[in-house]
Chain A
Amino acid sequence: MSLAKTGAKTKIAWSKVLFYACIVAIPVVQFAIFYVGVNINSIILAFQNWDGLTETYEFGFGNFVKVVTDLFTDPKLIVSMKNSLILFVVGVAVGSTLALLFSYYIYKKHFGYGFFKVVLFIPNVVSAVTLAIMLRYFTTEASKAIIGIELLTNPATKLPTFIFMSVMLSFGVQTLIFSGAMSGISESITEAAVLDGITPIKELILIDIPMIFPTISVFIVSSIAQIFLNQMNVFNMYGAGAPDINIYTIGYWMYTNVLGALSTEYPYYSAFGLVLTFITIPVAFLAKYLLDKCGPSVD
């Protein structure tokens, strides 16, 4: 009998209510303050406009108007938006495809799978700032010595190098979770398919991917939530002083600005965050709906 069923069948006693309350009280209060409260405060902040002359706050839509105007006119923001979207598309298209291919390889325990598993996990163990600094100098000093080009400073290769590095460092855990999910697929299903003469590619596409699709779907939807938070390792490499706006992302722009902001500037950045949140929420829910509705069927 499962734990849940046992609990459900147990007669509710006050001691159980007290126990339940003791366990959930702190997390619920924390949630109320640091999730609900922070986000409500974010909305309130976003409507406050700082008047430098009177040194008072006024309520209004001024910040939102400025944010929307800036999104279409500020060259930094236009580039940042473009880069964030490119990074997302490449991350999902290339990163998730490779993650699936690698997880299938690990799941099937092909040659050297243990070694590859360790290497895939390395970007999650070694700190992002350390790896980013190593890659920064490798793609300048070492690449100059090897191919005669500083990949990270050459205007033609700069952005692709950043995107390549970010994607490369991002999907290790995804691979391990996908392979973990694949290992939960009943052997009888794959054995029956193999007996029917299924090829490995067909097995991956027709059996494994549809079977673990709920997990894939979680990753795709959560990566939508990360579109405007991803800093593409720019802060890790250059701190707040990135030398070129062409490598900016919204995540980098936002973090560096808030870091050096005066408290009177917080309302503008809160409004900025809210506008992006309202752009992303429908996209995330639409993606979830489409993935649930149009995702591959096990049948």
Chain B
Amino acid sequence: MVQTKKKIQINSLAIASIIILIVYCACILIPIIWGMMTSVKNIDDFRNNVLGLPSFEFGWAFDNYPYVLNLFHADAVYEGRAFTVDLWGMLINTLMYVIGCSLIATVTPCLTAYVVAKFPNVFSKIIYGTVLVAMMIPIVGSYPSEIVMLKNLGLYNTMYGAWIQKANFLGMYFLVFHATFERLSGDYSEAAELDGANEFTVMFKIILPLVSNIFFTVFLIYFIQFWNDYQTPHLYFPAYPTIAYGSFYMSQLYMHGLETVPLRMTSCIIVVIPILILFIIFSERLMSNISMGGLKE
């Protein structure tokens, strides 16, 4: 009797969860599948057939893709001069922004967390406390001040300005790295130090390879985040439009038929494809467990 009751309760929670999960998945996947389907529809086909697959009459309009790729651009202004950046220009801007910022945003908290974990002195405690407090203090609307500061330092509208902005140790990943370094055994580094290795050798040749997995995971997370980020480039370096900004820009354009839903969807899918490939390759790593909060003892 007890066993039957237990089984029913196990099932009831699991069933409730799975029903909600299925609804959730439907809400996420159906619009994406609909968007993909619409991206290969002829506009006349779409008018009469909003939901279905492309009809036999019009066929699959794969030529939407080269058409949108040819038109893919963003207008930018630099020192009062207006100019247009094409897809390749945006790709270069994107790679510079995404790779540079991801690397800097990963290296900075990683190295800072390493020294804070290894040398638990007063200064380290201050840094650790600063990270915790900064996470709790909600700074609202520092955009104007940041723009003024960047302009005063000559960093506004520059790519290196964007990189420097990301060279901070604040945020969740500092805690992730700190927790990782604290769990690491000190035996290897101790042995290397006894053999005469200096601190840099120990860090670069022994410790960092040991945490390369978590380092790469954080780098990938940032890579995706920056690839998709269009508001930062739009606000702080508008002369360097990225592909994500291009996608946003195209979504606001009303010319060359781009205002039609199928072509809007095509331009969305173009931006998604590279990052989906990356996700398929590294999905396991991206979704691996990142521990940051800890458990109650």
A residues with a Cβ closer than 8 A to B are: 1-8, 10, 15-16, 19-20, 23-24, 26-28, 30-31, 33-35, 37-39, 41-42, 45, 98, 101-102, 104-105, 108, 110-112, 115-131, 133-135, 137-138, 141-142, 144-146, 168, 176-177, 179-181, 183-185, 197, 199-201, 204, 210-218, 221-222, 224-229, 235-236, 239, 250, 254-255, 258-259, 261, 263, 266-267, 269-270, 272-274, 276-277, 280-281, 284-285, 288, 298
Contacts and interface: CB of A to CB of B under 8 A. Distances in A.
B67 to A, nearest CB: 18
Contact of A213 (B112, B248, B296): B296
Contacts of A185: 295
B296 A214 contact: yes
Contact of A199 (B6, B170, B234): B6
A63 B51 CA distance: 51
B127 A133 contact: no
Contacts, number: 337
Interface residues of B, number: 107
Given A27-B112, A38-B142, A129-B247, A3 B189 contact: yes
A27 B168 contact: yes
A34 B168 contact: yes
Contacts of B199: 15-16, 19
Contact of B18 (A98, A105, A119, A217): A105
Nearest to A240: B252
A271 to B, nearest CB: 9
Contacts of B51: 142, 145-146
A23 B295 contact: no
Please report whether the interface of chain A is mostly helix, strand, loop or mixed according to DSSP.
Answer: helix
Given A168-B24, A199-B9, A284-B136, A145 B50 contact: yes
B244 A127 contact: yes
A245 B102 CA distance: 36
Given A31-B168, A181-B295, A214-B296, A134 B32 contact: yes
A122 B286 CA distance: 11
A3 B149 CA distance: 39
B92 interface: no
B34 interface: yes
A154 to B, nearest CB: 17
B97 interface: no
Contacts of B227: 127
B82 interface: no
B137 interface: yes
Interface in B9-43: 9-10, 13-14, 16-18, 20-21, 24-25, 27-32, 34-35, 38
B268 interface: yes
B164 A30 contact: yes
A248 B182 CA distance: 44
Nearest to B165: A34
A273 B266 CA distance: 38
30 contacts: A2-B185, A3-B117, A4-B120, A15-B199, A23-B115, A28-B127, A30-B168, A34-B165, A39-B145, A98-B20, A101-B17, A102-B24, A104-B13, A127-B230, A127-B272, A130-B268, A134-B34, A145-B51, A146-B51, A180-B291, A185-B295, A200-B9, A218-B135, A218-B293, A221-B136, A225-B135, A228-B138, A266-B144, A272-B141, A284-B136
Given A42-B142, A119-B29, A200-B13, A142 B50 contact: yes
